[in-house]
Chains A and B, each alone.
Chain A
Amino acid sequence: MRPMAEPGKQPREAWGSKLGVILAVAGSAIGLGNFLRFPVQAAQNGGGAFMIPYFISFLLLGLPLMWVEWTIGRFGGGFERSTAPGIFETVWQKNRFIKYFGVIGIFGPTVIYTYYVYIESWLLGYSVFALTGKYASCTDQASMSGFLQGYQGLVQNEHFSGVSTAYLFFLITFAVNIAILCVGLRAGIERVCKLGLLVLFVFGVVILIRVLTLGTPDPAKPEWNVNNGLGFLWNPQWGKLKEAKVWLAAAGQIFFTLSVGFGVILTYASYLRKRDDVALSGLTASTANEVAEVILGGSIVIPAAFVFFGPQGTAEIANGGAFNLGFVTMPLVLQHVAFGQFFAFAWFFLLFIAGVTSSISLALPAIVFLQDEFNLDRKTAGILFAVVTFNLCQVVIFFNGHGALDEMDFWGGTFCVVVFAMIEVILFAWVFGMDKAWSELHSGSDIRIPKIYRFIIKYVTPTFLLLILGFWIVQEGWPTLLMKKTPMEKVPFVIGTRVLLIDLFVLLAFLVWLAWRKRQTRGAVQ
């Protein structure tokens, strides 16, 4: 029996259409990683052969977690709970402490939001620079890297004397995000994701066609062509499949690209009705993400870099990382093509839109938590969230280059995500129980999921997650926790960032405690 809405409580929001919620989840999943991280991972980890562990991870890890989040999100929404603390409690009602594990589902996305929105603002800045030709004088990797460092305020050069330009674009981006969030679910997030994904795919296809028709730009180097550029990414290196790190890289890529383990999908799905489908919607959102990642992301940057920089140069660029590829290599490549300013604008604006549709989803759990548990209206909750995260963003902006951003990414964007996914899948398969969970997953469903997934969700996905967590703790977690790779000059900044993150977690846990106390008091009075 589901409870009636409490008297005096704000009316609950709802999605306008089934397609709307699918596009919102797809928008959350499609981000910078699809276009920048995936090609780098594939190129470094076996090329075409990388797709074998990648698709296996998609089937055994990505899809099951996607269905778990959609299902328990909709289930919790039936009890008018839209964030992890409340949703977890509806799944495990007898446990008094499970709500505090749910704090991770608000803490993680809030931390990621604080640095993601800053990186997103760089893309807006570069979209404008592409049209105005501000970086046109940078014609090689070194000068374009200098331009980026100047923009970030890491060095002073002929392009930038400080961080003020970056700060201006940050203010605009931050305001755009908060405005969308304050407008509401249907008029804000749903409308932006519908329009945004349309523009993103149109721009993506236009750039893809342009790259695939580059041919052989330099006749003196006939082997530097698009065909070989695609080969650089897709030719299988079978020997790589024997390396454990390649399988881990593929699992990690699937994990992060689908936005599972963040707590975001829980909140989106909580606004569904009991008879709304989740099985097909989860599959459709995942597929849309794969189209953006494998088809667009896998065919743009690496082939484009290859035809202008050759195999040696592309290998060095790929080893330089995703940011290098997006902010240094792509603008250089697009300077060489006809209508390069337009294509460069399309490239950066595409990434900016991908960023906006992701960052609004990251902000939502904290805002909805304030709305749901403290009965605030959307605007008040949005403004409170803006005040807290605006202050946190200052740490990222002014301590960039001192390790603050990396530290936030490590705890919020890696550790919390894997741990949270583990909690979710255990709650779903072992606490809720697989019979009940399977029935809930198929309630109102438009498709039947193969029964093998009962076994996969109960045994394979948790084991897979344990393996990832174990390897990750040994390889990355422990050395990072002990700051073994941190240069001495960055240690005070890293410790300061950790103190700040602990403060935020404690604050959120206190708010959960306070909200539950208020709820109990209200229950006793009624």
Chain B
Amino acid sequence: MKVTEKEVNYVADLANLELSAEERSGLLRDLNSILDYIEMLNELDTSNAEPMAQVSVNYNTSKSNNGGDKVGYVMREDIVEGLRKSLSQEAALENGPDTDGAFFRVPKVIER
């Protein structure tokens, strides 16, 4: 067993997931079986392989863009309204489960 019950609880905490006892035991089983399968990656020698976080660093090269080579295409002018007008406050709040018309409301953060 790679993952223990204690670790399932710890990871659920990190992920902000409330889980039922039944879900916890199911996850304990599933995670262990998936991680057992994933174990096969250790057959490979990766000492000569750089970690690959994005494919696009290899090809998105626009020399005309400021920033030069590899990540030049992600640069843009720093302008106040950006590329799209910001949402109005009303539109931004529209999907909020609890608002007062100006802010999202949430339960108290600091207990007294």
Q: Do A and B come from one complex?
A: no
Residues of chain B whose beta carbon lies under 8 Å from any beta carbon of chain A: none
